Structure 1
Amino acid sequence: MNIDKFLKFFVPKDHSFYPLFEEDARNLAKAADLLKELLSSTDIEDHERIYQQIKEVEHIGDQITDTTYKQLNKSFITPFDRED
């Protein structure tokens, strides 16, 4: 048996983690943009509005992380070490 075929046997067919990582990266970029906007603004009312948006983005990030951990716990073999 070819080693590649043997290794592919242990790699999951489902790559459900990658869309979660992509979604989390987009969410992180949005948070960074909001932080930049917050730091460049001098209007107190803008600060409160942007702060609320950052809290919402953080909540979305927490949900993505929770989904990722749930998916990780369901997976028998992941495409990377669980400790990573």
Structure 2
Amino acid sequence: MNQTFQDLLVPYLPYLNGRQVTEESRLHDLGLNSMKAIDLLFTIEDELGVSLPDEDLNDSTFATAGSLWRAVQRASVGEPTKVNV
């Protein structure tokens, strides 16, 4: 994950409490609910210039910072969404 992506996540994670966002950070546990996830998606699309495919708009993608980052990376290079992790 790059710093720009980590910085985008912070405002959507009210329970982060100054901790570092890591790939293992569980977004729901840190306060990301469905409404915030939609806002975060729009921010990612605007700030990073990527559009996540419909197949990636699910709980698995938004489970951790790392899973969301991998979806953003795939979308940025146009790779298929089915990738072995």
TM-score exceeds 0.5? no
**TM-score of the two chains, using structure 1 as the length reference:** 0.29
Task: Report 1 or 2 for greater relative contact order, CA contacts < 8 Å, sequence distance ≥ 6.
Answer: 1
